[in-house]
């Protein structure tokens, strides 16, 4: 039982971070505004969670310009993908234990 | 246990977000039904009004005519087909936008863009290729090419919307390939591929996801 819980990753505990990682697991990359719309979040809320995930090395950020508009794209890093998979597995195992 | 219900909810939320962020689910079954009916109407119009109740058909005589002599006929057929295409596309966009609005979703997303690009690559290739066939008076292969390239476009787009589109694509490709071996039956294959298959698909999707 202890093993199961130790695999639950603290970084992903918030719903917002789960949401961000879910999107980035199935999409090569996603831009800020589309993430905001998909997850139904405010700018500030999304930005702070993105920052946290970036600092932990779970996602990477690419900034570029489309015309004159800045366009920030996010994608999951290899570490992020691996850790999120493990987190998912831990969640599933927790349920199966019941 | 509290943590368990939370885990279950987490997993549900994850699945839903993964699905919604990677697939365009606002495609409406009504589009399929409408496209099918339009295709059949277009084919019947061509048969009765352009091809003179079927008395004009592709044969040795037709092949020996010069390009000038068949020009007006070809122009009318293209106009008919283009009209069917434009109407189908406009209405499927309209139905999809309406469905997205009803579900409280955005229509123009990274996924709908990706879906469109993946549809357009085979479709544009097919369109240009068919134009070349038309210029060279290879009328016989036009219907098979329409069906094959359209099928390929759907197979390609299947990754970004309902998985059923993939199977519709496969059926269109098979219809196209068979029609390539059965010359002279283009009209029937057209009605089957673009008409009947679309209507069956549209009805099935509508009943499964919308009704």
Inside any domain, residue B156: yes
| Residue A6 or residue B148, greater confidence | B148
How distant is the Cα of B18 from the closest Cα of chain A, in angstroms? 5
Helices (H) and strands (E) in chain B, counts: 9, 0
**Token pair of A94, please?**
């927790």
In chain B, what are the helix, strand and coil shares in percent, each to the nearest 5? 85, 0, 15
Inside any domain, residue B6: no
Residue ranges covered by each domain of chain A: 2-93
**DSSP assignments along A6-74, one per residue:** HTS-GGG-SHHHHHHHHHHHHSS-EEHHHHHHHHT--HHHHHHHHHHHHHTTSEEEEEEEETTEEEEEE
Residue among B10, B22, B110 whose CB faces A18 most closely: B10
Rounded to whole angstroms, the Cα distance separating A45 from A16 reads 8
Inside any domain, residue B16: no
The interface predicted TM-score of the complex, written ipTM, equals: 0.78
Look at B10 and A91 and tell me if their CB atoms are within 8 Å: yes
**Tens-of-pLDDT digits for all 211 residues of chain B?**
456 677 888 888 888 888 888 888 888 999 999 999 999 999 999 988 888 776 666 555 666 676 677 778 888 888 998 999 999 999 999 999 999 998 888 888 888 888 999 999 999 999 999 999 988 878 889 999 999 999 999 999 998 998 899 999 999 999 999 999 998 898 999 999 999 999 999 999 999 988 7
At the topology level, CATH places domain A2-93 in: Arc Repressor Mutant, subunit A (1.10.10)
Number of folded domains that form chain B: 1
Give the structural domain span for B143. 28-210
How distant is the Cα of B2 from the closest Cα of chain A, in angstroms? 11
User: What is chain A's mean pLDDT, rounded?
Assistant: 86
Confidence of residue A50 (pLDDT cuts 50, 70, 90): very high
Q: Does B6 touch chain A (CB under 8 A)?
A: no
What is the chain B residue with the closest CA to A13? B10
Helix-helix angle A78-97:A15-26, to 10 degrees:
120
Look at B109 and A38 and tell me if their CB atoms are within 8 Å: yes
Q: Does B117 touch chain A (CB under 8 A)?
A: no
Q: What mean pLDDT do residues A49-69 have?
A: 91
Inside any domain, residue B103: yes
Sequence-distant (≥ 6) Cβ neighbours of residue B70 within 8 angstroms: B62, B137
**What residues in B contact A98, CB-CB < 8 Å?**
1, 4
Inside any domain, residue B45: yes
Look at B21 and A15 and tell me if their CB atoms are within 8 Å: no
Inside any domain, residue B17: no
Rounded to whole angstroms, the Cα distance separating B26 from B201 reads 15
């Amino acid at each position: 039982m202890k093993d199961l819980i130790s695999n639950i990753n603290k970084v992903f505990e918030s719903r917002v971070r789960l949401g961000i990682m879910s999107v980035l697991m199935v999409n090569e990359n996603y831009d800020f505004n589309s993430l905001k719309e998909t997850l139904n979040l405010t700018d500030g809320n999304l930005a702070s969670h993105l920052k946290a995930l970036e600092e932990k090395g779970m996602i990477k950020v690419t900034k570029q310009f489309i015309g004159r508009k800045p366009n920030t794209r996010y994608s999951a890093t290899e570490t992020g993908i691996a850790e999120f998979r493990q987190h998912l597995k831990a969640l599933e195992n927790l349920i199966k234990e019941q | 246990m509290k943590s368990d219900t939370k885990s279950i909810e987490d997993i549900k939320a994850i699945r839903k977000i993964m699905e919604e962020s990677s697939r365009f689910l606002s495609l409406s079954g009504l589009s399929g039904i409408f496209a099918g009916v339009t295709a059949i109407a277009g084919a019947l119009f061509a048969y009765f009004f352009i091809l003179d109740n079927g008395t004009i058909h592709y044969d040795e005589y037709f092949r020996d005519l010069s390009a000038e002599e068949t020009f007006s006929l070809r122009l009318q057929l293209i106009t008919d087909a283009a009209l069917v295409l434009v109407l189908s596309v406009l209405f499927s966009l309209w139905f999809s936008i309406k469905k997205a609005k009803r579900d409280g979703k955005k229509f123009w997303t990274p996924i709908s863009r990706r879906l469109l690009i993946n549809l357009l690559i085979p479709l544009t290739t097919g369109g240009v290729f068919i134009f070349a066939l038309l210029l060279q008076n290879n009328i016989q292969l036009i219907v098979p090419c329409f069906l094959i390239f359209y099928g390929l476009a759907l197979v390609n787009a299947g990754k970004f919307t309902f998985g059923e589109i993939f199977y519709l694509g496969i059926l269109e490709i098979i219809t196209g390939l068979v029609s390539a071996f059965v010359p002279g039956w283009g009209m029937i294959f057209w009605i089957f591929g673009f008409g009947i298959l679309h209507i069956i698909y549209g009805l099935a999707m509508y009943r499964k996801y919308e009704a």
